[in-house]
Amino acid sequence: MNAPFNKLAPQDGVSRRELMVVGAALVGGALVVGCSPADLMSAGSKVEVGAFGPFIRFDPDGAVTVLSKHIEFGQGNHAGLAAIVAEELDADWNRVKVVHAPANAKLYGNTGMGVQLTGGSSAISNSWDQLRKAGAGARAMFVQAAATQWNVPASEITVKDSVVSHGSGKSAGFGQLIADAAKVAPPESPSLKDPKTFTLIGTDRVRRKDSQAKSDGTARYTQDVQLPNMLVAVVAHAPRFGGVVKSFNGDDAKKVAGVVDVYQIPTGIAVVADSTYAARMGREALKVEWDLGKAETRDSATIAGQWRDIAAGKGPSDLKWEAFDSKGDAAAAAGGKDAFETTYDFPYLAHATMEPMNCVAQVDGNKVKLTHGSQGQTLDQMAAAKIVGTLPGSVEIETLFAGGSFGRRANFQSDYVAECVHIAKKVGGNRPVKLIWTREDDMRAGYFRPIVHHAVRVTLDKDGYPATWRHRIVTQSIMKGSPMPAKGPDQTAIEGTAGSPYLKATPIVDAQLALPEAGVPVLWWRSVGATHTAFVMEHTIDQLAGKAGKDPVDYRRALYAKAGANRHLAALNLAVEKAGPAPAAGWTRGVAVHESFGSVVAQVAEVKLVDGQPRVGRVVTAIDCGVAVSPDQVAAQMEGGTCYGLSAALYGEVTLTGGAVDQSNFDTYRVLRINEAPTVETHIVPSGAAPSGVGEPGTPVIGPAVANALLAISKTPTTRLPFVRSQA
Amino acid sequence: MAATLDVNGKTISVKADPETPLLWVLRDELGLTGTKFGCGLAQCGACTVHVNGDPVRSCVTPIAALAGAKITTIESLGGAHPLQQAWVKHDVPQCGYCQSGQIMSAAALLAQNKAPSDEDIDNAMSGNICRCGTYQRIRAAIKDAAGMAAAPVAATPVVTKPVALNDIDDDIAAASGSTGRGAGQ
């Protein structure tokens, strides 16, 4: 979720008026002159700010609580965010904890997006300046309070591990100074530390704060919410996307012990009960007839075939092509002798989080409270507000941990959240309703990474480097129809091909995008466009190197030099150096490098074939992510991102038959298990730049690295994913 | 019809229908929410508990099958079990949702095998899915808890201290010159 939200940022050339229009569209109201989207979307909020600002609270004993505007669902961002505050505050790291902030777009909006939303691997980068200032500001308040109490100059006061001291021997903990410090006016622009003096950021002391709770069963997820008088709901959904209820009979369902009621809601038929088991048994007893007249009925293979036809110039004549990164004579890119030509096909992918989608809602008239793992609080507020007829800002949200997201929990429809609010509205009386999706509900609900097709044609110059590059991408648009429609080509479809150093190094480029439609809900999936563009660019480069008779690593180095891609070069060199001269006997190496979310990741993967299937052993990773606030969590994200990307590359594929999703659970949607997991070594490129993304950039590189190793082993390129097709 | 279960050393009378999977009795009726729902089909292991010491997927085990059996959940480990200490030391969890099940599978393994090999770990743990991909740290933590040397490849990163932190703004500008920076930049 990188590019789409950049489009909302004024620095990207979007005017204030456009932002306002987006804001108004998001709220579903008219354009309100003179107020920002954040103002619009926080109107009605009752969130209060303490003396030390919206991000920091102190307990009476001086313990620090950092309020995170970003949800923690695995990324480790809470460790990094707390460390940024603790560093500037000079707080005792052992006495710093993190909680989720309440929902309020104005106080807690993502500064790059204008709405409160965690995404685009932006949690740390987006909060870097904001939280440094928050920490430094609070520190200055304590220093001033001590200076006044002790009648000494503030400049002579030092702070270390939550203790404020003066050379005269006077000292006091934060707890002793809170009352006075809270009365000091917060400084407008507190002075920030010289990063050379950081003592916490960038060290191995920055570790997760939630490991204990996540190891003893006490961490609280939506699934675990238990409130007095709470009902559990499950919903019968249409068997195809776009289907609606024609008629239903809930009599038998209501006879199931524990079932309280059955309701029709826009997305299907809801069964509410006093327990999860009763709700599920009730749903089995439901009789529903569906109207599938407007449903998507194509096979996924048919859709993929149509995308291929479009790229080959056999698509509908009214389908628009949009150019990106193009330069020079397009006719030349279509001509030339001895061209390298290939295509690539990518399937639908499910996010398949460990915790299936769920939500807890309470509705009383037009009052709403949501308790769930909210990734896009402002989006969820807007969806709920629209259903009950209130201001988005007045929708209260308690954000909990979520059992993974990988993009799934942030979508413009807030699909399952809206579903829960509809049910809670039917129940009424502020009675809590927990909506539970089963694994099957979750797998079949769509919001997949779309099917994507690439067609590539490259000619080489006399030295073997690309002279012309023709590129066609065909996919379904993620941003189309959203309140933040793409201006120009949908970046979520092209990022990674667009901006590629290889295209920069090529004199003539003709790159175009077509976005045909399908009735399947699609969404960003960890690393978004890079899920396919990294594969296409990196696997193509190895094939071009082969054609040119050059070593793939040297070939990349030469192209990075031509493109001025110094960060790519540094990451590649570090990974290659740390990998050492040669793999162990029987293993073959593949290399890939890709930039996403502001970070560059290079990987050397060691691969062998076991029973004809790829097995990945050691993966040496180098990342340039600017300042690594928490080096250990950067490593954790490289390990996890690699597994997530490898799982999809090896096995990930959702198929449709007659429009119905064929997969339902982990028996049919295979995912990576411990016996198939690689060992990832992480090396961080030294950098003084501000932090950039970490949660997603580790995902897209392993697929092409493995494909490149397989190319070296078998001389056969990979033109479609996954590597291992289902035997079904 | 009330059934009687032995959960974490306590005899408890429950109201649920005998066909109800143990998972939902633990979670909905007994409030033991450390045991998670992931798939409902014994495919992911998030619901793993011990029945008479053996790892069992509670999502497919009806309580009717558990008369007289000793049921143990993550809550019984107490928070300072050697595996839990190792999990914290290695910062194993990411989203954390699967980790109760991972730890229960690992606890059953270590109870029967004090020095598991990589293959033993694969066999005992491959029924537990982690979508965050914490497998490498799970392996290291199990070995650590078993009192063995951690895997030869460090789970913690090799970190080179940033060298040029003195002028961040200039460096941002320089670094972003050749490539498009990401969100928030």
The C-alpha angle B128, B131, B135, rounded to 5 degrees, equals: 60
Q: Which residue on chain B is closest to A563 by alpha carbon?
A: B178
Q: Has residue A5 got a pLDDT over 60?
A: no
| B141: nearest CA partner in chain A | A215
Which of A208, A216, A502, A559 is the best mutation test for B, with the most CBs of B within 10 A?
A216
pLDDT of A361 above 50 = yes
Q: From CA A83, how far away is CA A66, in angstroms rounded?
A: 9
The answer to whether the Cβ–Cβ distance between B95 and A404 falls below 8 Å is: yes
Interface pTM, i.e. ipTM: 0.95
> What does the pLDDT read at residue B179?
26
Contact predicate A709/A605, CB 8 Å: yes
Tens digit of each residue's pLDDT (9 = 90 or more) over A524-578: 999 999 999 999 999 999 999 999 999 999 999 999 999 999 999 999 999 999 9
Considering CB atoms only, which of B74, B168, B181 is closest to A195?
B168
Selected for mutation to probe chain A from B22, B41, B94, B160 (highest A CB count within 10 Å) is B94
CB contacts of A353 in chain B (<8 Å) are 95, 97, 131
User: What pLDDT was estimated at residue A488?
Assistant: 87
- pLDDT exceeds 70 at position A24: no
Strand partners, A508: A468
Given B129, B156, B181, which is nearest A204 (Cβ)? B156
Query: Is pLDDT at B162 greater than 60 in this prediction?
Result: no
Tens digits of per-residue pLDDT, A109-148?
998 788 999 999 999 999 999 999 999 999 999 999 999 9
* More confident site: A459 or A43: A459
Å from A304 to nearest chain B CA?
27
Mean pLDDT of A404-429: 97
Q: Are A653 and A349 in contact (CB under 8 A)?
A: yes
Confidence of residue A35 (pLDDT cuts 50, 70, 90): low
Nearest C-alpha in A relative to B133: A640
Instruction: Enter the tokens of residue A475.
Output: 């996919």
A161-176: per-residue pLDDT in tens?
999 999 999 999 999 9
Is the confidence at residue B182, as pLDDT, over 80?
no
| Most confident by average pLDDT, A6-20, A38-52, A473-487, B25-39 | B25-39
What is the chain B residue with the closest CA to A440? B39
Mean predicted confidence (pLDDT) in B153-174 = 39
Per-residue pLDDT of B109-120, as tens digits, reads 999 999 999 999
pLDDT at A29: 47
Is residue A240 within 8 Å of residue A375, measured between CB atoms?
A: no
Does the structure show a pLDDT above 60 at A460? yes
Res. A632: pLDDT tops 80: yes
| Predicted confidence (pLDDT) at residue B154 exceeds the cutoff of 80 | no
pLDDT greater than 50 at residue A697: yes
- Per this entry, what is the length of chain A? 728
- Beta carbon pairs, A and B, within 8 Å: 319
Closest partner residue to A404 (CB to CB) among B37, B97, B125 is: B97
The total of other beta-carbon atoms located within 10 Å of residue A149's CB is 16
Chain B partners within 8 Å of A213 (Cβ): 96
The partner residues of A56 in beta bridges, in order of sequence, read A66
pLDDT interval class at A651 (50, 70, 90): very high
| The pLDDT value given to residue A38 | 80
**Above 90 in pLDDT, residue A313?**
yes
**Quick one: which of A715, A694, A728 has its CA closest to A126?**
A694
Dihedral of alpha carbons A636, A650, A709, B180, sign: negative
Percent of chain A scoring above 70 in pLDDT? 95
pTM of the model as a whole: 0.93
Q: What is the mean pLDDT of the segment spanning A185-210?
A: 96
d(CA A201, CA A15): 35
Q: Report the distance separating Cα B2 and Cα B16, nearest Å.
A: 7
Per-residue confidence (pLDDT) for residue A482, from 0 to 100: 79
Per-residue confidence (pLDDT) for residue A347, from 0 to 100 = 98
Asked whether the predicted pLDDT for residue A380 surpasses 50, the reply is yes
Give CA–CA dist A538/A100, Å, rounded: 38
Residues A256-292 as b/e (b if ≥16 CB within 10 A, e otherwise) read bebbbbbbebebbbbbbbbbbbbbbbbbebbebebeb
pLDDT at residue A26, as a whole number: 53
Least confident of A66-75, A186-195, B158-167: B158-167
Region A291-313 average pLDDT: 97
**In A, which residues are within 8 Å of B20 by CB distance?**
277
- Is B132 in contact with A658 (CB distance < 8 Å)? no
- Which pLDDT score is estimated for A94? 98
Write down how long chain B is: 185
Determine the straight-line distance between the first and last CA of chain B, rounded to whole angstroms: 62
Which chain B residues contact residue A223 at CB under 8 A? 33, 36-37
Residue with tokens 């049919």: A668
Place of tokens 């961490």: A219
Contact at 8 Å (CB) between A410 and A230?
no
Nearest Cβ partner of B172 from A198, A679, A689?
A: A689
Whole-angstrom Cα distance, residue B106 to residue B139? Answer: 9
Q: What is the pLDDT of residue B148?
A: 62
Q: Tell whether the model's pLDDT for residue A326 goes beyond 90.
A: yes
For residues A250-255, give the mean pLDDT.
98
Across the interface, whether the CB atoms of B91 and A211 are under 8 A apart is answered yes
Asked if B139's CB is within 8 angstroms of A634's CB, the reply is: no
B131 to A352: CB separation less than 8 angstroms, yes or no: yes
Average pLDDT for chain A: 94
Strand A599-610 vs strand A231-236: parallel, antiparallel, or unpaired? unpaired
Three-state SS for A534? helix
Query: Whole-angstrom Cα distance, residue A282 to residue A601?
Result: 49
